[in-house]
Amino acid sequence: MITVLVNGREQAFEPAADASLAYMLREEAGLIGVRVSCGEGECGACTVLVDEQPVTSCLMLAHQAAGRKVTTIEGFGSPENLHPIQQAFIEEQGFQCGFCTPGFIIAAAAFLEENPSPTEEETSIAMSGNICRCGAYPYIVRAVMTAAERLRGASV
Amino acid sequence: MSTTTTEIARFAFVRPDDVAGAVAAGAAAGQGGRFWAGGTDLMLEWQRKQRSIETSIDITRLSELRGIDVGPSEIRIGALTTLAEIERAAAVHPDLETLAAIAAVMCTPQTRTLATVAGNLCNASPAADLAPVLMVLGARITTLTAEGGRELELEDLFAAPKQSVLADGELLTHITIPLGGRRAVRYGRIARTVVDIALTLSACALTLDDQGRIITARIAFGSVAPTPLRAPSGEQLLVGKTLAELTPELLAEAATAAAGDANPIDDIRTSAAYRRHAIRVLTQRALTEAVAQLSVGGDQ
């Protein structure tokens, strides 16, 4: 039995020893915003924050999250009050099918936390751990740049 | 209609509180035990049934195995230091700039937060990108078992593809890079994209003594042999020379000799012939850059 602080709420889980964090979040916590696409740490769709660090949750053992703080896309904003990065993805059309979007948004949040004023090139490189099969990359970079601008404005 | 129930083999998961507990767990687990850090390779090998594991020993909470310390004569890198931390270590010491630059192009940002330096080394992939750079930096590794510790040269860690010389229950605790002399460290790497595994990688380090002569020259390769590889045939042409004697012709000769030490194969990423050619070119470029760096930095 482990407890994990998931999206601000302490929850108890009983994952198998070899279960991935992604599996536990989807199957036990019902957080299906955690997308599993490649399952091999290549595509970034399963990206979540663990203690504010972005991780491919398909590669991390669920047990390694014991006692730690995990944030999934469900912990970002709410339908009535979207996170600025979510809002920017909608406005800049940073997706088509939307499957990869949670991973992109979380990777973007971690990146902008570290680099609030990135160049477009820095943003592209920072987003290189996420794959978008629809190929919305230019729009995604634009969305992250727009979000960066808003977040900078909000923190002044 | 019948239902078949398949028993899925699972490992035991243990989380020791300290290093002593970890090596005790390693000794108890024996052949079926694996120290589990970032797990970015182990998870895939486990899921693909390429490796049998009876006990996974989670070492990620052992904070004494984490972080980079710069002392007067050496840099000590804890085994659990992540690639994300290495990537940000250029400011810690100039000799780490090249290591940081390579970490920044390995796997992906959200995997570098998990993957550890010791994992990259102990997994013993011939394509382990950190290995050649650490080898030219003269890195040694320190390991611990329930019986005691030992220190060995990093280049002696690799036995075969995906196979290290470490015994069951032997834990790599830290990596030590000796300091001293004026050193230039350079590398060349070719990969398909920024997130891809290298097709080839060449690293070199040249160190000057007080008289302005090359006191040590190290060249090491990734992805051109069954293990990360030192290239002594190129190195010995450079030792003892002054910077003025390191002409473009001599560097070309050294790169050609070094490339002769490579033993590449054809695989899904590229051909042996391409690797053999590329490793020579990358080595020549890296040596040229290293000499240029030492030439401008003469007053340091």
CATH number of A8's domain: 3.10.20.30
- pLDDT score at B299: 45
Are A114 and A134 in contact by the 8 Å Cβ rule? The answer is: no
- pLDDT score at A56: 98
Tell which of B108, B120, B123, B196 to mutate to test the A interface (max A CBs under 10 Å).
B108
A41 and A21 in a common domain: yes
Mean pLDDT of A50-65: 98
Domain finish residue from A13, A40, A74: A74
Q: What is the ipTM of this complex?
A: 0.95
Q: How many CA atoms lie within 13 A of A124 on its CB side?
A: 9
- pLDDT score at B300: 43
For residue B82, what are the β-bridge partners?
B116
Distances in Å between the Cα of A77 and the Cα atoms of A86, A151, B166, B277 are 8, 14, 48, 53
Mean pLDDT of B138-153: 97
Question: Are the beta carbons of A107 and B43 separated by less than 8 Å?
Answer: no
CA-based nearest distance B103→chain A, Å = 14
Q: How far apart, in whole angstroms, are the C-alpha atoms of residue A45 and residue A101?
A: 7
A52 and A28 in a common domain: yes
A68 and A42 in a common domain: yes
- Give me the residue from B10, B40, B58 closest to A59, CB to CB: B40
Instruction: Indicate if the pLDDT at residue B1 is higher than 60.
Output: no
Please, what is the average pLDDT of chain B?
A: 92
Give the 3-state secondary structure of residue B222: strand
A105 and A44 in a common domain: no
Are A94 and A124 in contact by the 8 Å Cβ rule? The answer is: no
Question: Are the beta carbons of B84 and A53 separated by less than 8 Å?
Answer: yes
Question: Which residues in chain A are closer than 8 Å to B13, comparing Cβ atoms?
Answer: 17-18, 61, 63
- Tell me the whole-structure pTM to 2 decimals: 0.93
Question: Which residues in chain B are closer than 8 Å to A61, comparing Cβ atoms?
Answer: 13, 36, 39, 43, 56, 58
Instruction: Indicate if the pLDDT at residue B5 is higher than 60.
Output: no
Domain finish residue from A74, A94, A123: A74
A56 and A88 in a common domain: no
Q: How confident is the model at residue B7 (pLDDT cuts 50, 70, 90)?
A: very low
- pLDDT score at B9: 67
Task: Quote the radius of gyration of chain A (alpha carbons, Å).
Answer: 15
Of chain B residues 113-142, which have a CB less than 8 A from chain A?
Answer: 113-114
pLDDT in tens, A125-150: 999 999 999 999 999 999 999 999 99
Residue type, B256: T
Q: A with B: how many residue pairs have Cβ under 8 Å apart?
A: 84
pLDDT in tens, B157-216: 999 999 999 999 999 999 999 998 899 999 998 876 655 677 789 999 999 999 999 999
Residue A69 lies in a domain: yes
Share above pLDDT 70 across residues of chain A, in percent, rounded to a whole number: 99
Of chain B residues 39-58, which have a CB less than 8 A from chain A?
Answer: 39-40, 43-44, 46-47, 56, 58
Q: Does B110 touch chain A (CB under 8 A)?
A: yes
Distances in Å between the Cα of B188 and the Cα atoms of B52, B155, B198, B204, B272 are 36, 19, 10, 9, 17
Taken in order of first residue, the domains within chain B and their CATH numbers are 12-58 (3.30.43.10), 67-178 (3.30.465.10), 182-296 (3.30.390.50)
- pLDDT score at B113: 98
Question: Which residues in chain B are closer than 8 Å to A66, comparing Cβ atoms?
Answer: 15
pLDDT in tens, B36-50: 999 999 999 999 988
Q: Does B60 touch chain A (CB under 8 A)?
A: yes
pLDDT in tens, B22-72: 999 999 999 999 999 999 999 999 999 888 899 999 999 999 999 999 999
Distances in Å between the Cα of A86 and the Cα atoms of A19, A21, A92, A109 are 29, 23, 10, 10
Are B156 and B192 in contact by the 8 Å Cβ rule? The answer is: no
- pLDDT score at B2: 44
Mean pLDDT of B277-299: 90
Instruction: Indicate if the pLDDT at residue B77 is higher than 90.
Output: yes
Question: Are the beta carbons of A44 and B108 separated by less than 8 Å?
Answer: yes
Q: Does A98 touch chain B (CB under 8 A)?
A: no
Residue span of the structural domain in which A17 resides: 2-74
Mean pLDDT of A20-42: 97
Q: How confident is the model at residue B135 (pLDDT cuts 50, 70, 90)?
A: very high
Residue A79 lies in a domain: no
CATH number of A126's domain: 1.10.150.120
Instruction: Indicate if the pLDDT at residue A21 is higher than 50.
Output: yes
- pLDDT score at B266: 84
Question: Are the beta carbons of B113 and A53 separated by less than 8 Å?
Answer: yes
Six token digits for residue B256: 């050609």
CA dihedral B191, B196, B202, B208 (to 10 degrees): 120
CA-based nearest distance A58→chain B, Å = 9
A92 and A68 in a common domain: no
A119 and A94 in a common domain: yes
Displacement of CA B232 from its chain's centroid (Å): 18
Instruction: Indicate if the pLDDT at residue B282 is higher than 70.
Output: yes
Residue A47 lies in a domain: yes
A62 and A6 in a common domain: yes
- pLDDT score at B257: 97
Give residue for tokens 């804890």: B78
Question: Which residues in chain B are closer than 8 Å to A60, comparing Cβ atoms?
Answer: 39, 43, 114
Residue type, A94: G
> Each residue of B231-260: b (16+ CB within 10 Å) or e?
beebbebbeebebeebeeeebeebbebbbe
Please, what is the average pLDDT of chain A?
A: 96
Q: How far apart, in whole angstroms, are the C-alpha atoms of residue A63 and residue B297?
A: 50
Residue A144 lies in a domain: yes
- pLDDT score at A94: 97
